[in-house]
Amino acid sequence: MSARPRPPNCSRPPVSSSPRPLPHPPPRALPLHHTVNQRSGEEPMAFRARRPVTTLLAAAVVTAGLAAPTAALAAPSYPDIPGQDRPKTIEQIQDELTDLGPDAEPLIAAHRAQWHEYPENSLPAIEEAIQDGAEIIELDVELTADGVPVLMHDTTVDRTTKATGAVGDYTLAEIKDLRLLDHMGRDDNAVETQYQIPTLAEAMELVKGRAMVNIDKGWPEREEVAAVLEQTGTADHALIKGAPSVDAAVEFMTEYPDIEYIHLVNDDNWQSVGDFPAEHQPIAYEVVFNTDDDAQADPAFLEDLGRKGRIWVNTMWDSLAAGNTDEASIRSVEDLGWQNLVENYSASILQTDTIEAMDFWRDGGDMARYQRLPGVNTVRIEAEDVTEGEPGVDFWDVDANRCAATSPGLAFIDVCDGSTLNHTRGGLALAHIEGGEFLTYEFEIAKPGNYDVVTRAGTQYVDGGTLEMTWDGEDTMTHTVPQTSHLGAFFRSEAGTRWFDKGTHTLKVAFPEEARQDLNLDYLQLDYVGR
């Protein structure tokens, strides 16, 4: 395959045969793990660290020419529901994929792998997604200039690396010289990690025997993808997704009988799904519906379709499933979220950006207790639980309320959910934050002691938001929110530790004018760590 012409604005670092030095890793947002330990003389408490990278991943990383990832600093953890957290074998997953019975357990698909903790579509993100409970890893494929399938969501490398230009204008050697930006990248100042862009072959070797892979953006490259699957002996690990005509889909299934096919169902093609012959049914149907009124969202239609294959529904943002999002599920919105999709829309595969939260729910966990310590060891201060009081004294909002439709009872501040244009993805959060604004909260401490102060916020920028938290009018804790890649991608990060006496306390949260303020704030949380 000849190299394609390179556009004039396609910039990149020079190709080098020697590895370039890697930056010292910066402090990370708190991972979501919940491995519980005990402190002598205290109630159940936990410190969580990133799971040790398995030997298999370390071997895969070395094979790819990467250094193994370093462990994160220890951080607080939360009890999990025991029972279903061990990764399954590929045979178990394949059996479950064909189980269309009413008691079939919903399967978890990890959107671009576990990008909350590692760069999207990277090898460590794939490994982490498996460890966190996903049976299916959703990945995206583009071809290099020399025809090699690599993992990349966009057609260019602009968002996920510090280089620019189309993936198809880079050779594999040139692609391997790039380094991925953390999480989803997006900001020019996002942290450049040590991780390379993987080839599809490297990804398939990593998941072999342990997970299915959904090739999402890969239908145009299906022949090249199929060749890699045959080469790696993983054809039966793959789910290729597309929205071609029924005839084209049947032709693919006939030519590649070992590769499973998922058919995308939307406004344009829902009427044709009944045309699939019985001997060539897709293993699953991915159904996208913006509103409940869409024809393909009709419960009877989905129930009938679910007798033929699994029903795959995406929960990452509002328009994919009529507001049934990850964030709506995490805050337990009535009649919205994962439970609603399973009970009323026949969903049996759920694609998520919050793998561990979904695994917690699937194991029977109470989402009202998710990421909380037992008993009174956690105090959560929701952004919307603000004290109204006197303007200029207890609160200050410098602009008009842009979320009045969402929170009519809080007309003096911008508390928004996904129903307004604020990108909270169904989360109820303080949004449209401006420098100079501040809020006051009142909360109770039942157990005196030291508490870790944690924020849950989202921002696409490295310098996207700074909070000044003043406790009881005495001391101030300043915290800059880490980049999460999106206003609606809420990460938890630790701001510090403070002693609190038993009783009523006040908190003033100010957003300084001199700092960039482009964030959404979900909540602040105090986690007891001892005396």
* CATH code, domain with 386: 2.60.120.260
Do both 306 and 399 map to the same domain?
A: no
254 and 127 in one domain? Answer: yes
Q: CA 282, CA 239: separation in Å to the nearest integer?
A: 10
C-beta separation of 380 from 453 below 8 A: no
Out of 365, 387, 410, pick the residue that ends a domain: 365
pLDDT value of residue 416:
84
Give the CATH number, domain containing residue 253. Answer: 3.20.20.190
Six token digits for residue 481: 């929110």
Backbone phi and psi for residue 110, each to the nearest 5 degrees, phi listed first = -90, 115
Angstrom distances, CA of residue 232 to CA of 200, 349, 491: 10, 26, 36
Distance CA 330, CA 490 (A): 11
Residue 485 lies in a domain: yes
Helices (H) and strands (E) in the chain, counts: 11, 22
Q: Are residues 471 and 512 in the same domain?
A: yes
Considering the domain architecture, whether residues 418 and 332 belong to the same structural domain is answered as no
Q: Which amino acid is at 45?
A: M
Report yes or no on whether pTM surpasses 0.75: yes
Tokens of 23: 């930056």
Contact assessment for residue 322 and residue 419, using Cβ atoms and an 8 Å cutoff: no
**Domain membership flag for residue 21:** no
Q: Are residues 319 and 348 in the same domain?
A: yes
- Report the number of distinct structural domains present in the chain: 2
Distance of CA 92 to the CA centre of its chain: 24
Distance of CA 464 to the CA centre of its chain: 19
Q: Report which of 290, 320, 403, 363 is spatially closest to residue 132, judged by C-alpha positions.
A: 363
- What distance in Å separates the CA atoms of residue 78 and residue 45, rounded to the nearest whole number? 8
Tokens of 73: 């600093």
The span from the CA of 463 to the CA of 507, in Å, is 23
Q: DSSP letters along 439-456, please?
A: EEEEEEESS-EEEEEEEE
Tokens of residue 309, six digits: 């294959």
The answer to whether residue 221 is domain-embedded is yes
Q: Is 25 a member of any domain?
A: no
Give yes or no: residues 150 and 88 share one domain.
Answer: yes
- Say yes or no: 262 and 325 in one domain: yes
Could you give the CA distance from residue 525 to residue 527 in angstroms, rounded to a whole number?
6
By the 10 Å C-beta count (0-12 exposed, 13-18 middle, 19+ buried), 145 is classed as buried
CB-CB contact of 209 with 87 (8 Å): no
Confidence at residue 8, expressed as pLDDT on a 0 to 100 scale: 33
- Domain with 456, as residue range(s), is 378-530
Q: Are 287 and 329 in contact (CB under 8 A)?
A: no
Q: Which residues contact 156 (CB under 8 A, 6 or more apart)?
A: 164, 165, 166, 167
Which has the closest alpha carbon to 240: 254, 224, 260? 260
Query: Partners of 265 in the beta sheet?
Result: 287
Q: How high is the pLDDT of residue 70?
A: 34
List the structure tokens of 417.
Answer: 């959910």
Euclidean distance between CA atoms 180 and 202, whole angstroms: 16
φ, ψ dihedrals at 304, nearest 5°: -65, -45
CA distance 386 to 392: 14
Among 311, 330, 365, where does a domain finish? 365
Residue 42 inside a domain? The answer is: no
Number of C-alpha atoms within 13 angstroms, CB side, residue 201? 13
Q: Is residue 7 part of a domain?
A: no
CA 173 to chain centre: 29
Residues 403 and 323 in one domain: no
The encoded tokens of residue 82 equal: 């025991």
Are 258 and 383 contained in the same domain?
Answer: no
> What pLDDT, on a 0 to 100 scale, did the predictor assign at position 66?
36
On whether both 308 and 426 belong to a single domain, the answer is no
Is residue 410 in a domain? yes
Domain endpoint, select from 365, 400, 426: 365
- 262 & 399 share domain: no
What are the residues whose beta carbons fall under 8 Å from the beta carbon of 159, sequence distance 6 or more?
181, 184, 185, 186
Whole-angstrom Cα distance, residue 341 to residue 311? 10
342 lies in the same domain as 390: no
- What are the backbone angles phi and psi of residue 125, rounded to the nearest 5°? -65, -35
Kindly write down the DSSP assignment for every residue of 194-254, as one continuous string. Answer: SPPPPBHHHHHHHHTTT-EEEESTTSTTHHHHHHHHHHHT-GGGEEEEE---HHHHHHHHH
> Residue 71's CB: how many other CB atoms inside 10 A?
12
Q: What is the mean pLDDT of each run of 10 residues along the chain (531 residues)?
A: 36 35 38 33 31 40 36 52 70 97 94 97 98 97 98 97 98 99 90 97 98 94 97 98 97 98 97 96 97 96 97 95 94 89 97 97 94 97 90 87 67 72 78 94 98 96 95 97 92 97 98 95 97 92
Helix (H) or strand (E) holding 508: strand 503-510
Instruction: Supply the pLDDT for residue 422.
Output: 56
Residue 41 inside a domain? The answer is no
pLDDT, position 423 = 73
Residue 65 CB: number of other CB atoms within 10 A?
Answer: 10
Strands 520-530 and 449-458: antiparallel
- Using CB atoms within 10 A of its CB, is residue 426 exposed (0-12), middle (13-18) or buried (19+)? buried
